[in-house]
């Protein structure tokens, strides 16, 4: 399983019914710190989940990091997050 697929699976399990988009943005960072051949180092993640409605921005980020876990986060260099509650 790719890291992108693993990110999506863990977030889907933690936030059932959420709209999730995961983009491997590694190629945009070729030659930068943390980049490695084969990609899977830099990701852009967007999650729209009802659970975020009552959370602060920091609480949303903490919830996503907890859902992904230290083992997965330790395998990537950068994670850009857009976290929203449904309108």
Q: Return the pLDDT at 41.
A: 85
Which CATH number characterizes residue 52's domain?
A: 3.30.300.90
Determine the Cα–Cα distance for residues 87 and 71; give it in Å rounded to an integer: 33
Q: Which domain holds residue 59?
A: 3-84
For residue range 43-79, what is the model confidence (pLDDT) as tens digits? 999 999 999 999 999 999 999 999 999 999 999 999 9
d(C-alpha 76, C-alpha 35), whole Å: 9
pLDDT band at 28 (very low <50, low <70, confident <90, very high): low
Tell me the whole-structure pTM to 2 decimals.
0.88
pLDDT at position 15 over 70: yes
pLDDT of residue 17: 96
In total, how many domains does the chain have?
A: 1
- Give the residue-averaged pLDDT of 32-48: 80
């Amino acid at each position: 399983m790719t890291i992108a697929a693993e990110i999506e699976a863990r977030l889907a399990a933690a936030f059932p019914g959420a709209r999730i988009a995961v983009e491997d943005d590694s190629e945009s960072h070729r030659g930068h710190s943390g980049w490695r051949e084969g990609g899977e180092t830099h990701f852009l993640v967007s999650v729209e989940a009802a659970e975020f409605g009552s959370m602060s921005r920091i609480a949303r980020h903490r919830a996503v990091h907890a859902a992904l876990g230290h083992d997965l986060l330790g395998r990537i260099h950068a994670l850009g997050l857009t976290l929203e509650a449904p309108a």
